[in-house]
Amino acid sequence: MAMFAAGELFKYLPKYKANPKDEDTITRLQLAAFASLGFLALNVKGGLGLSHALGYALGSPYQIPHGITSCLTLGHVVKLKAESSDEDAAQLARVAPFIGISKSNDDKKDATAVGDAILDLVKSLDLKTTLTEKGVGKDQVPVITKTATRQESGPLYDKVKQLVEKLY
């Protein structure tokens, strides 16, 4: 359902931008949102992952709406996860055909293409922004990284810090 939802978001978000009063498009986006997390209590143990952790680290403390934090972080997180392990890359690569990407049978390449497609979608929707534009100083990078990772150092901390630095 989540992969179907990703495809629907890629299809209907541009349609919503073109006509935000189209009730069919609004309904399909609502159904896609539900499909992406509709069975959350039944199939997910633990947190929702790094993109959401970064969203919470950026949202309330810096008054950035959650949807915009996703625009800032999701594509970069997907690309980071594509490089982090073969298992993560394989899972992310599964999304490719649902969002119009032909699979190459190279999971890392395909997962990276998914991340790039997310960044391109955000740009096409005119939702691309930076932490600088949102008034978040670069001195906040360690705070954001620590909040998202619950760590003060280490390999994960370093990778997430590099990701956050890309958001400026």
- pLDDT of 44-57, one tens digit each? 555 568 999 999 99
Q: Residue 63, class by beta-carbon neighbours within 10 Å (0-12 exposed, 13-18 middle, 19+ buried)?
A: exposed
Do 119 and 155 form a contact (C-beta atoms < 8 A)? Answer: no
Give the residue-averaged pLDDT of 20-26. 98
Among residues of the chain, what percentage have pLDDT more than 90?
A: 89
Q: Which residues contact 164 (CB under 8 A, 6 or more apart)?
A: 54, 131, 141, 144, 145, 148
Q: Is the Cβ–Cβ distance between 5 and 32 less than 8 Å?
A: yes
Residue 60 identity: S
The pLDDT, as a whole number, for residue 47 is 57
Q: What is the pLDDT of residue 37?
A: 77
Q: Which of 140, 168, 141 is nearest to 157 (CA)?
A: 141
Mean pLDDT of 37-50: 63
pLDDT level of residue 168 (50, 70, 90 thresholds): very high
**pTM tops 0.75, yes or no:** yes
Q: How far apart (Å, rounded) are the C-alpha atoms in residues 58 and 135?
A: 11
pLDDT given for residue 49 in this prediction = 86
What domains can you pick out in the chain, each with its CATH number? 1-46 (no CATH), 49-165 (1.20.1090.10)
Q: What is the C-alpha to C-alpha distance for residues 68 and 60, in angstroms, rounded to an integer?
A: 12
CA 92/CA 96 separation, integer angstroms: 8
Is the pLDDT at 42 greater than 70, yes or no? no
Give the mean pLDDT of 125-142.
97
